[in-house]
């Protein structure tokens, strides 16, 4: 796919949140992929009316199936969604998205000029761009980005310090998140930590502090995992671990091999671990258990993968409801039924699947691991104290 470079800027409202949310929106776009994002830089305003506040600026590398004209329109749409109003030349704005480069294309039309006509004059653009595209050649000037940067003043362009993360939603809770070395599990573990929880991570390979290695195909090892994680007590269990049968070597396995793997990791391990730790939580008098299902398990999906995941994740969902009834009122148990979430498979999915995401999701974008993590935080927190035995669909509104 073509590779574009985009400049981001904001000097109204919560600037850090504006840029972070814009990057997140670009990550979610089907048929596109964020390749790299620079640091955020604090810079004074250039031009425009006096009295403006300082900007946060960044640059982003973006692979996309859109044409340059479609990409420009897409960026303007995002600006509008963020409250951008174009009234004053170089005036303050909640969000500014400029198309800087599009592969090595040179375009000059009444509506679009690429490379951006003022790219080579702006230190606040060149500094973040140089961070992620230092050896990219400007197709008109025939100079590298790093060379162009040396021709402008960048003294007042400094790396911005990230604001403190609001914490406390899970303060003083201990949580075990299985399958948390990457993807959705890592996003949940990171968000739990940010919200004040002490998180025990799990995977098949070594990790950081408070990490347990366990192969969930081994029933005895699952029981050992429960013992090691429990310690003096556990408040939250997230049964996130799942077998990947869509990428790598497993993608070429037979139907029966894939089924055995999914039954062992996604279903049996979830049941065994949740029953073990759920009984301890009930005896202790409190706890929360979250399982991970699939939003199409109830409605079905064509093809081999649909048959496999509907059978396994459907069983997880049904087990969750029964476990919730068994452990109530001391322990709440809910299932996160995920829709089109941009995991490793989603990053490389074919255009057919990218179009399907657009077509089937009312919000029109991929879900991100962070979206699942935010839902998990809510369900684990006291804010969801009256929620149990439910299947919460994290799927952008898809109804099939």
Catalytic residue among 24, 84, 275, 358: 84
The C-alpha atoms of residue 35 and residue 74 are separated, in whole angstroms, by 18
The C-alpha atoms of residue 148 and residue 146 are separated, in whole angstroms, by 6
Catalytic residue among 15, 98, 295, 371: 98
| Known catalytic membership, residue 98 | yes
Strands 331-338, 287-294: parallel, antiparallel or unpaired by DSSP? parallel
The C-alpha atoms of residue 373 and residue 47 are separated, in whole angstroms, by 41
Q: Are 388 and 335 in contact (CB under 8 A)?
A: no
Of 26, 369, 399, 355, the residue nearest 181 (C-alpha): 369
| CA atoms within 13 A of residue 295's CA, in its CB half-sphere | 17
Of 350, 152, 337, 110, the residue nearest 246 (C-alpha): 350
Q: How many of the other CB atoms lie within 10 Å of CB of 361?
A: 19
CA 240 to chain centre: 15
Q: Are 59 and 132 in contact (CB under 8 A)?
A: yes
| Known catalytic membership, residue 172 | no
Q: How far apart are the first and last CA of the chain?
A: 31
H or E element: which one contains 201? strand 198-203
SS3 337: strand
The answer, yes or no, to whether the previous bond of 301 is cis (omega within 30 of 0) is: no
| Known catalytic membership, residue 130 | no
The token duo for 214 is 């366990």
Catalytic residue among 15, 93, 122, 174: 93
The token duo for 381 is 């927190």
Q: Looking at residue 50, what DSSP letter applies?
A: T
Catalytic residue among 96, 130, 266, 371: 96
The residues, any chain, with a CB within 8 Å of residue 276's CB and separated by 6 or more, are 222, 223, 226
The residues, any chain, with a CB within 8 Å of residue 372's CB and separated by 6 or more, are 184, 187, 188, 336, 338, 341, 394
Q: How many of the other CB atoms lie within 10 Å of CB of 350?
A: 8
Residues annotated catalytic, as ranges:
84, 93, 96, 98
């Amino acid at each position: 796919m073509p590779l574009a470079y985009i400049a981001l800027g904001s000097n109204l409202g919560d600037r850090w949140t504006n840029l972070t949310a814009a990057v997140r929106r670009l990550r979610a776009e089907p048929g596109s992929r964020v390749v790299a994002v620079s640091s955020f830089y604090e810079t004074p305003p250039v031009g425009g009316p006096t009295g403006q506040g300082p900007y946060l600026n960044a640059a982003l590398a973006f692979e996309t199936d859109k044409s340059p004209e479609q990409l420009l329109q897409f960026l303007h749409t995002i600006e509008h969604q963020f409250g951008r109003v174009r009234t004053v030349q170089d005036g303050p704005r909640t969000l500014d998205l400029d198309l800087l480069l599009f592969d090595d294309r040179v375009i000059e039309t009444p509506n679009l000029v690429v490379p951006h006509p003022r790219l080579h004059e702006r230190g606040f653009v060149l500094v973040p761009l140089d961070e992620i595209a230092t050896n990219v050649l400007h197709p008109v000037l025939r100079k590298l980005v790093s060379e162009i940067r040396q021709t402008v003043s960048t003294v007042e362009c400094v790396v911005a310090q990230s604001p403190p993360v609001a914490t406390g939603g899970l303060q003083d809770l201990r949580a075990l998140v299985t399958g948390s070395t990457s993807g959705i599990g890592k996003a949940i573990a990171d968000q739990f930590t940010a919200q004040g929880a002490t998180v025990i991570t799990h995977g098949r390979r070594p990790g950081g502090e408070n990490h347990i290695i366990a192969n969930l195909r081994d029933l005895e090892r699952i029981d050992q995992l429960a013992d090691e994680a429990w310690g003096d007590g556990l408040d939250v269990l997230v049964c996130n671990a799942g077998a990947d049968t869509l990428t790598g070597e497993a993608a070429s396995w037979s139907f029966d091999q894939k089924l055995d793997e999914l039954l062992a990791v996604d279903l049996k391990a979830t049941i065994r671990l949740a029953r073990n730790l759920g009984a301890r939580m009930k005896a202790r008098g409190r706890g929360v258990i979250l399982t991970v299902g699939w939003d199409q398990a109830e409605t079905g999906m064509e093809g081999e993968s649909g048959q496999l995941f509907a059978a396994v994740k459907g069983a997880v969902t049904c087990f969750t409801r029964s476990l919730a009834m068994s452990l109530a009122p001391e322990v709440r148990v809910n299932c996160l039924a995920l829709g089109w979430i941009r995991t490793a498979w989603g990053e490389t999915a074919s255009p057919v699947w990218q179009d399907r995401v657009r077509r089937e999701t009312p919000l029109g974008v991929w879900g991100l691991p962070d979206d699942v993590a935010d839902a998990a935080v809510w369900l684990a927190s006291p804010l969801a104290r009256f929620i149990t035995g439910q299947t919460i669909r994290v799927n952008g509104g898809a109804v099939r």
